[in-house]
Amino acid sequence: MRLLVALGGNAIKQAHEKGSSEEQFRNCKITTELLAQVVARMKKDDRLIITHGNGPQAGNLMVQQEAGKAQVPAQTMDIVGAMTQGQIGYMLQQTLLDYLRTHGVSTPVLAIINQVLVKEDDPEFFGEVASKPVGNFMTEEEARQLKAEHPEYIVKKVKPTGERAWRRTVASPDPIANCEDEAIRRMVDAGIIVIASGGGGIPVVRNEDGALRGVEAVIDKDLAGERLAEVVKADTLLILTDVELVRLNYGKPGEEKLGELSLADAKKYLAEGHFLAGSMGPKVKACVRFLEWGGKRAIITSLDKAVEALDGKTGTRISK
Please give the positions annotated as active site: 9-10, 132, 221, 283
CA nearest to 184, candidates 38, 47, 12, 40 = 47
Q: Which helix (H) or strand (E) holds 60?
A: helix 55-68
Rg (CA), the chain: 19
Return d(Cα 170, Cα 154) in angstroms, integer. 7
Q: Cβ-count burial of 24 within 10 angstroms (0-12 exposed, 13-18 middle, 19+ buried)?
A: buried
Q: Report how far apart, in Å, the C-alpha atoms of 120 and of each of 30, 200, 226, 307 are.
A: 38, 16, 20, 39
Q: Kindly state the DSSP code that residue 272 receives in the 8-state scheme.
A: T
CA nearest to 239, candidates 253, 258, 230, 226 = 226
Return d(Cα 2, Cα 86) in angstroms, integer. 24
- Given a contact cutoff of 8 angstroms between Cβ atoms, the answer to whether 183 and 193 are in contact is no
CA nearest to 237, candidates 131, 132, 134, 315 = 315
DSSP 158-203: -SSSSS--EEEEE--PPP-EETTHHHHHHHHHTT-EEE-SGGG-EE
Return d(Cα 32, Cα 94) in angstroms, integer. 9
Going by DSSP bridges, is the β-strand pair 316-319/297-302 parallel, antiparallel, or unpaired?
antiparallel
